[in-house]
Structure 1
């Protein structure tokens, strides 16, 4: 193993740290630094080994920056071993200090992590000062990863939602030691153990807590001088706390890696450093009438819950957050057929995952929830029959024009029309693909009367697979079902399935405008593929003959 100790490693413009690094790796990878948080000037700074055995680093102004604070009664010598350990010996070859006992962000083979030592990440890839992440033995004898931010701190590895034994750890051994060998085998006293992907003799290895908060083992490919990851603690980088800063969302795809973005209503603080996160664009008032909630499907914010409220509806959870000034958002997590409510007091550790079943509702000023311009108003089909035609004067009134000019004008006109048509088609396509932000509010797709839009799977579950038939008519079959909010409903499954979505929604809207004492209240509808269903208030039909049911439940237009 080849290391180099040149005394000073350049970390900035005329700034240096006393360090140890690999000589055969591209970029000279550092493994230890003495003064990472207080670099010295390139001129006039020096490292001194005093007669009493003390090792002292002074700046250009002879200001003491770092020392080991040891005393020896005999002569001392400093030696860099082949293991990468910098050792200070007394004359009798007694070790009075070694760099292995004060690691920075890296462990080398046979270097022991103890209850008195820890790894601290660097601030960034180019900033070697102490960062926000720490690997250490906790008071319960478990080795953990901690995000230690400027305002908050939190454990994120092992998974804090798991109890210790479910995470494969033990709290019974209080020796608190961890070490890995040159073959790539790691073992800790809390029963954590792993092998590198290239386990075996050969490559040089190091275990580093990187600036992004992940603990990784690297193997050196000496022919190219590059490091490859042979093990890492966390495979999903968005599970690392604080990675994108407050008020932001982390997303990850294997193709593009990790990405950070601000939540709606927030703007980035420092475009070169996501750890600062995002700041609100406007102040959020505590007045309930001035705020609303913006839905973020498949988004989770870990930690900082005001409380846990099981089996809560959207309205009840929303009311808690409205009454609590410090509530920034609330999470509705769907599990076992019920919704759990988690009001959030801080917007930290947010990540987006398509497999997450919950929805985050972000508290924002009402003025920023919806755009003032409504594209539906401009592109709504007018069915009133009162159509106006306006004759547009497109004649070119200039009296003197030649044939070439006229041709160019007509060519430009035709080209403009074609461009406008293409833009309109693209806009309409995007409009059909992306849901209107108003329609996603509160997890519902609303028509003019405010009906809830149910999914087909939700209604199939409510009716237990459409098994309890309570009526049959010309328009379809009616089943009894129990909705997620425990309301008993009559669910009508329509026979005809060829009707378009717009036509069906128009009929649902018509039903909503009807008001008659003999009509059962309509609660919602389902339109999914060829499935068309209507959801009504359930009424006990024992006093009625089943033949009256098709009259009470409004059928589709044209049902016989």
Structure 2
């Protein structure tokens, strides 16, 4: 029998009801808003406010045993308790009792959180008053908003963030983020994101006894990072598509930028790094899709306490250790630092004091009377005479090309720095002894561009649907799609116009900082219509140019750059920030239409490949090239901001300046050319140049920094022998005919021959050197090169170990 007609719902109304029931998995008792004189109780799990789409909920959130905070959290997909992700909390420092605590909107218009377990009861309030009716509602943006009856906002959670920014939530001069204390402790931590008085967005460690800014790196002028100081608006926003933009011109694009249907949040984590997290609709897993500090977590201040060193392992994470002669102050609590296990009868008694050299160690800050351009002896004496000097750093300054002295009154922010050009000396009693392992504190930094940042796999599972409902949904999608296209076109033209203005302003600022965005016409004129070619490779052609400021430059025109303009600008600006005396310096770029060009400093003597047979490349210069190239690659592998691998180490990519000092070039092009195709050292295609490529490129093994080490070893063998790996070695054995031999086996066999008055090396070394070289150092260089070209990548040294081996023998020579 058919049901009564009065029980039948019209199809549109039925469809709406069906969709609501299908999509809404929230408690039926969830509240859309909180009115005056109403309360939410900690004892009632259903007392929650829910946004209209169900994306966010607000209510009592468990933060410990019988301890609750009033919070906003993601509730789509549904979650419970600590498994939910909070984005705002009213009472981080004062959790309330799990019995009789309430969150109320008083008749006065004031929001009040009360704790029945505390005297006085009130833990938090909004401090608002409203003569008219007021209502608290949770928006779909995650913003908890209190309004009066005319819709005027009296208070909103977006104005007082805790550790998280949501899309469209502004950070301004009056707001800041403060990290949580630990992974499982929501209370206020020691890291803060804020706008400083110079209008620059900064990260600072503000600990119990010390504080210090660590991002952007304080030892570099903010303008050199592309930060714009002359804008007092002080605002930063993460947009729904994954672009974080600040008024000081800091910009971060997530790895999934442009995907609209994503949940996103930017969180200042308890470890001091600022990260953007994304997840797909329906997923419970957050993926890191962007971060402020990539690959160098020990550069974040406050990781370890006084007199300790931070080390990083990609698997185990960060760890701390005391410097030699010191022990933990509080076992298990590295924030307390280390204390000496020795005493001086008189801290200024020179006859009781000696200095012990530490390798690959740097302590930032707390310098006493920095002395520029001085000798090691003077630096030594300064610290010796200063009673409260704990040690000193004597290191090379690239900008001034001098050695400078940094006496330290505190040993803080210590970390390993494998490419440090200089030494650190710590003050200890004369009778204190140490093992060599205690003094060599070297660790490996993981600089993978995707070690933590993941490109999300957007594969959606399909569910069975009712045919009629599917048909109606398709119609709704078509209508909605048309509306979206119209809105997008309007948005596009408005944003495009705004970008044109911003781009012009940015070009002016970058020009002042030395890093400039050039137009294609400017570079066409500077290169005289690209007439003077000075080099070419798989990525593009290099032309000589004369810039308007009369600087001679090298302009590389990329052949197959498939990146969008925004991605290219983001990566180019990161390449510019990589700074080392043995890496080529980038001055600017061009991203206009289909054109992608990079502007570099011009190297007077061209590439190593062009100079291998030159008599100017004598033994001393070749050895310096070996050391300098190793230092540059060690920086890329272990201290850089972005890259792990060069992927194409060869003589053509080692350039020589006016003093024949080497600079590694093209170290960022694999990322610019193939953005998004590199994931955890797995490559979508073989890279490199035949003859210089490591065996793992063609044997389907994982690609690591040891692949660059292999290529470096081949280059060194070629530089020593004058023989290219792309050709065979022609050898005339006595009484025999000429035959072809491969370079590596031939070199190994020669080095295993018994020494006969240096004849072994005489047969191996490039005749262009005319036997004018140091026999012992030459032998060491060849031995190191052969270690680098081991078939088993695990048997190869790291580049920092190569630097150590070469410098140790150079100093002993």
Are residues 339 and 46 of structure 1, via their aligned partners in 2, closer, same or farther at CA, if it must alter by over 3 Å? same
Say which of 337, 345, 353 aligns to 1:277: 337
2:407 is matched with 343
In structure 2, distance between residues paired with 1:241 and 1:222: 36
Alignment of 1:44-59 (within 5 A): 44-59=100-115
Alpha-carbon distance, 1:260 to partner:
1.7
Q: Is the 8 A contact 2:135 2:146 kept in 1?
A: yes
In structure 2, distance between residues paired with 1:240 and 1:528: 31
Q: Is the 8 A contact 1:494 1:533 kept in 2?
A: no
Q: Is the 8 A contact 1:493 1:532 kept in 2?
A: no
1:28 is matched with 84
RMSD: 3.3
**Partner SS, residue 128 of structure 1:** strand
2:167 is matched with 109
In structure 2, distance between residues paired with 1:365 and 1:494: 39
Q: Deviations for 1:322-350, whole angstroms, at most 9, x for unmatched residues? A: 11111111001135675321101111111
Does residue 59 of structure 2 align to residue 7 of structure 1?
Answer: yes
Alignment of 1:376-391 (within 5 A): none
Task: Tell me which protein shows more helix as a share of its residues.
Answer: 2
Say which of 97, 102, 105 aligns to 2:155: 97
Alpha-carbon distance, 1:95 to partner:
1.1
In structure 2, distance between residues paired with 1:86 and 1:274: 38
2:422 is matched with 358
2:387 is matched with 325
2:491 is matched with none
Q: Is the 8 A contact 2:237 2:244 kept in 1?
A: yes
In structure 2, distance between residues paired with 1:36 and 1:28: 16
Q: Is the 8 A contact 1:3 1:20 kept in 2?
A: no
Q: Deviations for 1:451-494, whole angstroms, at most 9, x for unmatched residues? A: xxxxx969977xx99xxxxxxxxx99xxxxxxxxxxxxxxx988
Q: Which region of structure 1 is more displaced relative to structure 2, 5-14 or 187-196?
A: 5-14
In structure 2, distance between residues paired with 1:86 and 1:353: 46
Identify unmatched segments of 5+ residues in structure 2. 1-52, 441-618, 625-658, 661-756, 759-771, 781-804
Are residues 149 and 495 of structure 1, via their aligned partners in 2, closer, same or farther at CA, if it must alter by over 3 Å? closer
In structure 2, distance between residues paired with 1:497 and 1:354: 22
Q: Is the 8 A contact 1:497 1:532 kept in 2?
A: yes
Q: Is the 8 A contact 2:56 2:76 kept in 1?
A: no
Alpha-carbon distance, 1:270 to partner:
4.1
Structure with the greater alpha carbon radius of gyration: 1
Does residue 266 of structure 2 align to residue 207 of structure 1?
Answer: yes
Alpha-carbon distance, 1:280 to partner:
2.6
In structure 2, distance between residues paired with 1:47 and 1:164: 44
**Partner SS, residue 381 of structure 2:** helix
Task: Tell me which protein shows more strand as a share of its residues.
Answer: 1
In structure 2, distance between residues paired with 1:77 and 1:533: 75
1:293 is matched with 355
Alignment of 1:207-226 (within 5 A): 207-226=266-285
1:264 is matched with 324
2:793 is matched with none
Alpha-carbon distance, 1:272 to partner:
4.3
Does residue 97 of structure 2 align to residue 38 of structure 1?
Answer: no
**Partner SS, residue 431 of structure 2:** helix
Q: Deviations for 1:376-416, whole angstroms, at most 9, x for unmatched residues? A: xxxxxxxxxxxxxxxxxxxxxxxxxxxxxxxxxxxxxxxxx
Alpha-carbon distance, 1:194 to partner:
2.1
Q: Which region of structure 1 is more displaced relative to structure 2, 17-26 or 296-305?
A: 17-26
Q: Deviations for 1:489-547, whole angstroms, at most 9, x for unmatched residues? A: xxx988799999xxxxxxxxxxxxxxxxxxxxxxxxxx989x99999xxxxxxxxxxxx
Q: Deviations for 1:78-107, whole angstroms, at most 9, x for unmatched residues? A: 111111111111122221000000000000
Alignment of 1:439-478 (within 5 A): none
1:178 is matched with 236
In structure 2, distance between residues paired with 1:496 and 1:125: 54
Are residues 6 and 312 of structure 1, via their aligned partners in 2, closer, same or farther at CA, if it must alter by over 3 Å? same
Are residues 49 and 308 of structure 1, via their aligned partners in 2, closer, same or farther at CA, if it must alter by over 3 Å? same
Q: Is the 8 A contact 2:324 2:434 kept in 1?
A: no
In structure 1, distance between residues paired with 2:231 and 2:54: 36
Q: Which region of structure 1 is more displaced relative to structure 2, 279-288 or 92-101?
A: 279-288
1:240 is matched with 300
How many residue pairs get matched?
404
In structure 2, distance between residues paired with 1:125 and 1:139: 31
Are residues 144 and 498 of structure 1, via their aligned partners in 2, closer, same or farther at CA, if it must alter by over 3 Å? closer
In structure 2, distance between residues paired with 1:88 and 1:111: 16
1:508 is matched with none
Alpha-carbon distance, 1:28 to partner:
0.9
**Partner SS, residue 321 of structure 1:** helix
Alignment of 1:187-202 (within 5 A): 187-200=245-258, 201-202=260-261
Say which of 225, 229, 234 aligns to 1:167: 225
Are residues 241 and 52 of structure 1, via their aligned partners in 2, closer, same or farther at CA, if it must alter by over 3 Å? same
Alpha-carbon distance, 1:193 to partner:
1.7
Q: Deviations for 1:234-285, whole angstroms, at most 9, x for unmatched residues? A: 1111111111222111122445432221111222234544322223333454
Say which of 19, 24, 27 aligns to 2:71: 19
**Partner SS, residue 316 of structure 1:** helix
Q: Is the 8 A contact 2:264 2:276 kept in 1?
A: yes
Alpha-carbon distance, 1:34 to partner:
0.4
In structure 2, distance between residues paired with 1:108 and 1:370: 51
In structure 1, distance between residues paired with 2:332 and 2:811: 51
Name the TM-score, length of structure 1 as normaliser: 0.66
Alignment of 1:77-92 (within 5 A): 77-92=135-150
Identify unmatched segments of 5+ residues in structure 1. 372-433, 439-455, 466-474, 477-491, 501-526, 536-560
Name the TM-score, length of structure 2 as normaliser: 0.46
Q: Which region of structure 1 is more displaced relative to structure 2, 295-304 or 256-265?
A: 256-265
Q: Is the 8 A contact 2:357 2:424 kept in 1?
A: yes
